[in-house]
Structure 1
Amino acid sequence: MIFYSKISLILDQASLRSILSNFGTYPLERIAKSGMANITYIKTIPAVQTNDHGPIAYHDFGLIELAGYLKERYTPKQVVINQFTDVLGNTKETKKAAIKFLENLPIKSIDDCVSHPQGVSALSRKDCEDQAYVNEAVRNSIESGFPGIKIPRSWHFLTHATDQGFIVETNYDLKKLSEKIKEIYQHPLDLTSGYLLNLIHTATCDLVMSGHYAAEIATSSSLAAIMKTKMESTVRRREINHGNISLFQDHIIGNAHAIREAVNTKRINIKDALDLVESASRFKGWLNTVHPDAKIIQEYYKEATKSSWAEKLPGKSLRFAICTMAGITSEFFLPAGLGTVSGIAIGAADSFFLDKLAKGWRPSQFIENTMKPLISD
Structure 2
Amino acid sequence: MFDRITFATQNKLDGNNPIDLGHLAECMIFYKSTYVIASQGILKQLIKYFGVDGLIELLDSNVLHIIYTESMVGVSTNTEGSRQFYDVVEMSSPQHLYQDVLRKQIVEVTGKAGKGRRLANKIQDKIKVTNHDHSILDGTRHSILNQQYIQTAANLVLNSKLNGSVDLSGLRFQTEKQDRGIVVSTNTNFLILNQVYHKFVPATHSSLTPASILAEVLDLEKELCFASNNVSEIAASQISSTLAKNKFDYIFEQSYKTEEKINNFSDFALDNAQKLRDAVNNKKITAKDVIQIIEKSHKFKSWLTKKSPESDLIKEYYAEVTKETVADKLPGKTARFSVFTGLGLAADATLTGGLGTVAGLSLGALDTFYLDKLLSGWKPNQFIDDQLLPVINKKT
- Normalised-by-shorter TM-score class: 0.7 to 0.9
Structure 1 distance, partners of 2:244, 2:233, is: 12
2:248 pairs with 1:262? no
2:144 match: 128
1:346 match: 363
| Change beyond 3 A, Cα 1:49–1:320 | same
2:39 match: 12
Q: Which of 306, 327, 332 is equivalent to 1:289?
A: 306
Structure 1 distance, partners of 2:117, 2:243, is: 40
2:61 match: 34
Structure 2 distance, partners of 1:261, 1:272, is: 14
Structure 2 distance, partners of 1:301, 1:332, is: 42
1:280 match: 297
2:268 pairs with 1:251? yes
SS in 2 for 1:41: strand
Structure 1 distance, partners of 2:67, 2:212, is: 26
Q: CA RMSD for the aligned pairs?
A: 2.4
Which runs of no fewer than 5 residues in structure 1 stay unpaired?
69-73, 112-117
Question: How far apart are residue 274 of structure 1 and its match?
Answer: 1.3
Count of aligned pairs: 360
Question: How far apart are residue 57 of structure 1 and its match?
Answer: 0.6
Q: Deviations over 1:83-106 (max 9, x none)?
A: 222343351111111121112422
Q: Which of 196, 201, 221 is equivalent to 2:238?
A: 221
1:183 partner letter:
K
Deviates more, 1:310-319 or 1:240-249: 240-249
SS in 1 for 2:339: strand
Q: Which of 180, 183, 189 is equivalent to 1:164?
A: 180
1:221 partner letter:
Q
2:337 match: 320
| Superposition map of 1:137-152 within 5 A | 137-152=153-168
CA contact (8 A) 1:127 1:349 kept: no
1:334 partner letter:
L
SS in 2 for 1:46: strand
Structure 2 distance, partners of 1:45, 1:100, is: 26
Deviates more, 1:33-42 or 1:226-235: 33-42
Q: Which of 239, 252, 273 is equivalent to 1:235?
A: 252
SS in 2 for 1:8: strand
CA contact (8 A) 1:283 1:300 kept: yes
| Superposition map of 1:14-163 within 5 A | 14-68=41-95, 75-111=97-133, 118-163=134-179
Q: Deviations over 1:142-170 (max 9, x none)?
A: 32345343342001222211122111111
SS in 2 for 1:280: helix
Higher RCO structure (Cα 8 Å, ≥6 apart): 2
2:163 partner letter:
P
| Superposition map of 1:298-309 within 5 A | 298-309=315-326
Structure 2 distance, partners of 1:318, 1:29, is: 28
Question: How far apart are residue 242 of structure 1 and its match?
Answer: 6.2
2:356 pairs with 1:335? yes
Q: Deviations over 1:35-71 (max 9, x none)?
A: 3222221222320111111111110012222432xxx
Structure 2 distance, partners of 1:346, 1:183, is: 39
1:50 partner letter:
T
SS in 2 for 1:25: helix
Question: How far apart are residue 31 of structure 1 and its match?
Answer: 1.0
| Change beyond 3 A, Cα 1:264–1:360 | same
1:71 match: none
| Change beyond 3 A, Cα 1:149–1:189 | farther
* Percent of pairs with identical residues: 28
2:392 pairs with 1:365? no
With normalisation by structure 1, the TM-score equals: 0.87
Structure 2 distance, partners of 1:332, 1:242, is: 19
CA contact (8 A) 1:336 1:346 kept: no
Which runs of no fewer than 5 residues in structure 2 stay unpaired?
1-27
| Superposition map of 1:181-200 within 5 A | 181-184=197-200, 188-200=205-217
| Change beyond 3 A, Cα 1:219–1:158 | same
Deviates more, 1:140-149 or 1:316-325: 140-149
2:13 match: none
Structure 2 distance, partners of 1:28, 1:119, is: 31
SS in 1 for 2:363: coil
